[in-house]
Structure formats: structure tokens, C-alpha cells
């Protein structure tokens, strides 16, 4: 699945921090796939802007969408994370396009 910088950051931030051993192993692998390479980090030049609200900025248009290979378990963990936020009424407007991408596109 092709994901932009913002989409990768959103998914990284909504992933669960706890789970069973199998889920944690999948999460560890998934976090590695979603993370940024040294080359990407040098190009993006992430900067943390103090809040409130605290936010992250980066150079736009220097890194395009990246193909992220997702197995069915990783895909389901992402969807379950979004659905948990939705059930708790904690979804944010910026999450909606990413949620739709994961729930409306066929799994790869």
C-alpha cells in the first residue's frame, strides 16, 4: 500500500502499545516498515514545534508516497486501531482519509 509521510506518521501514532506476543511481533515489524530511512530523515528534516498543541513539521514534497508491504495481520491491527479510536470517539479529522484508505481499499 502506498503511504505518504503524513499517513505513515498517523499510522505509527495510532498503533497499540500493548498486545499479545504475536501482535507485538507484528507491530515491531510494522513500525520498522513505516519508519523513515536515514536518507528520508535527512531530506524531511523533521522539527518538533512546542505546543500547545505540540506538532511536527517537515519539508514537504521531498519524499513522496512509499510502498509499504502489509500482511493481513498488520493490516487488521491498523484497522482495529482506527476502529478503537472511532468507538471511543477519539478520531480526528486528519485521521479520516487514512482510515478510509485502510477500510475501503482491498488488502494487499
> 98 with 8: CB under 8 angstroms?
no
- Which residues of the chain register pLDDT less than 70? 105-108
Residue 105 is predicted with a pLDDT of 58
What Å distances lie between residue 7 and 22, 27, 83, 87, CA to CA?
A: 24, 16, 16, 21
> 105 with 78: CB under 8 angstroms?
no
Residue 104 is predicted with a pLDDT of 86
* Tens-place pLDDT, residues 15-35: 999 999 999 999 999 999 999
Sign of CA dihedral 64, 7, 98, 25: positive
pTM: 0.90
Give the separation between CA 7 and CA 49, rounded to whole angstroms: 19
Residue 51 is predicted with a pLDDT of 82
Residue 89 DSSP code? T
Residue 106 is predicted with a pLDDT of 60
Amino acid at each position: 500500500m502506498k503511504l505518504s509521510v503524513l499517513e505513515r506518521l498517523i499510522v505509527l501514532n495510532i498503533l497499540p502499545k500493548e498486545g499479545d506476543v504475536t501482535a507485538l511481533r507484528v507491530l515491531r515489524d510494522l513500525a520498522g516498515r513505516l519508519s523513515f530511512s536515514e536518507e528520508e530523515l535527512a531530506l524531511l528534516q523533521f522539527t518538533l514545534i512546542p505546543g500547545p498543541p505540540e506538532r511536527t513539521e517537515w519539508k514537504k514534497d521531498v519524499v513522496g508516497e512509499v510502498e509499504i508491504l502489509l500482511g493481513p495481520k498488520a493490516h487488521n491491527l491498523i484497522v482495529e486501531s482506527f476502529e478503537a479510536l472511532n468507538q471511543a470517539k477519539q478520531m480526528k479529522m486528519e485521521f479520516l482519509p487514512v482510515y478510509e484508505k485502510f477500510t475501503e481499499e482491498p488488502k494487499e
